[in-house]
Amino acid sequence: MNCLSFRFGGKNHFLYAFLLWLSVSNLYGQKQVFLFSYFVDNGQDGLHFAYSRDGLKWEAIREKSFLTPTLGKDKLMRDPCIIQGPDGTFHMVFTTGWHDQIIGYASSKDLIHWSEQKDIPVMEHELTAKNSWAPEVFYNDQRKNFIIYWATTIPGRHSDVSDSENEKGLNHRIYAVTTKDFKTFTETKMFFNPQFSVIDATILKKDSWYYMFLKNENPKPAEKNIRVTKSKQAAGPYPTVVSAPITGNYWAEGPTAITIDDYVYVYFDKYRDHQYGAVRSKDMTSWEDISDKISFPKGIRHGSVFEVSEQVLKGLLGEQ
C-alpha cells in the first residue's frame, strides 16, 4: 500500500488527510501573483498592466490598454491606483489631466470589464486650485471606509518654498476625502501639510503601523526623492518631520509599496532616467537599492502594485 492510500477508518486516514491538506496548501501557496497598473506616454490611451511572481521581473500583459479615458479636459488616465475592497471589487482612481479640479474613478470585478468612469469633484470648491494629481485610494480597516488622497496646489495657501522656473509656481500639499460606497464623499480636508512641497503619497500597512511614502518635490535645492513617515492611524495624523531620503542620487517619484515575503518593496519612477527603480527593507529603517535587480516593461510610468488571484491573472491573459 503506498503512502497515498486511503481507507476510511484505516490507519492511513489521518496521514492521507494531512498529505492532501499539505499538497493543496502548497498548490495555493505558489499562486501569488502581483499586478502593476500603469500608464505609458502621456496617459492618453489609458490603463495598462504588468505582472510578476517574485516582485523583480515584470512583464507587460499586452500592448493595448484595458480602459480608455473619457474624463477631464485632457482625457487622460495617468497615475492609475487600484485596490481590491473587502467585497472583492477593484476600485481605481486616476489623474484626468494636468489642470483639472477633479479625479477619475472606475470599478471592476475582474479588471477587464469596467464601470462607467465618473469624476469626483474633490477640488471644485477651491476656485484657484491648480490641479488634482496622482490620487491614491486606501482601505481603512480601522474605520471601514476608503481614504482617497491626492496632491493639489492652492496659490498662497501654504508656506512658501524656494521656487524655480520649471515648477511654475506649484507648491503641493496632500488633501483627502473618505467614502464607504464611492457615491457619497466627505468634505475635502488637508491630509498632510509638511514644510515642503509634497506629491505622490502612498500608504502601506505593516504590522500595527501605517507607513506613508511620499515625494519631497522641493526644487531649490532640488530634493526630488522619496521619504517615509508613519502613524498608528490610517487616517493620520502623519508626522510632518519625515525620514531622510530612502532613494539614491537620482530623481524619483510615484512610489508604490507592497510586502513580499520578508521585505517591503517600494517601486518608483526614475523619471529623468526613463526607467523604474526600487528599494526594499526588512525593518523599515535600512533600505537596500535593488534597481539593478528589477526589470519592467519599456515605457512604464507611475502606477500602483497590488496582489491578485491566479484566476484574475488568467482572465487578463485571456486564458479563461
The whole-number pLDDT of residue 166 equals 53
CA distance 176 to 199: 13
Query: Which phi and psi angles does 177 have, rounded to 5°?
Result: -130, 165
The whole-number pLDDT of residue 32 equals 81
The whole-number pLDDT of residue 2 equals 40
The whole-number pLDDT of residue 207 equals 96
Query: Which phi and psi angles does 165 have, rounded to 5°?
Result: -60, -35
The whole-number pLDDT of residue 29 equals 46
Residue 217 near residue 226, CB atoms below 8 Å: no
List average pLDDT for each run of 10 residues in the chain, which is 320 residues long: 39 46 44 93 97 98 97 97 98 98 98 98 97 98 98 89 65 97 98 96 98 94 96 98 97 98 97 96 98 96 96 92
Name the β-bridge partners of 258: 265
Tell me, what DSSP letter sits at residue 31? T
Residue 186 near residue 143, CB atoms below 8 Å: no
Residue 252 near residue 215, CB atoms below 8 Å: yes
CA distance 162 to 99: 22
The whole-number pLDDT of residue 273 equals 95
The whole-number pLDDT of residue 158 equals 86
Name the β-bridge partners of 307: 34
CA distance 197 to 158: 9
Compute, in degrees rounded to 10, the torsion defined by CA atoms 184, 188, 191, 195: 160
CA distance 196 to 202: 17
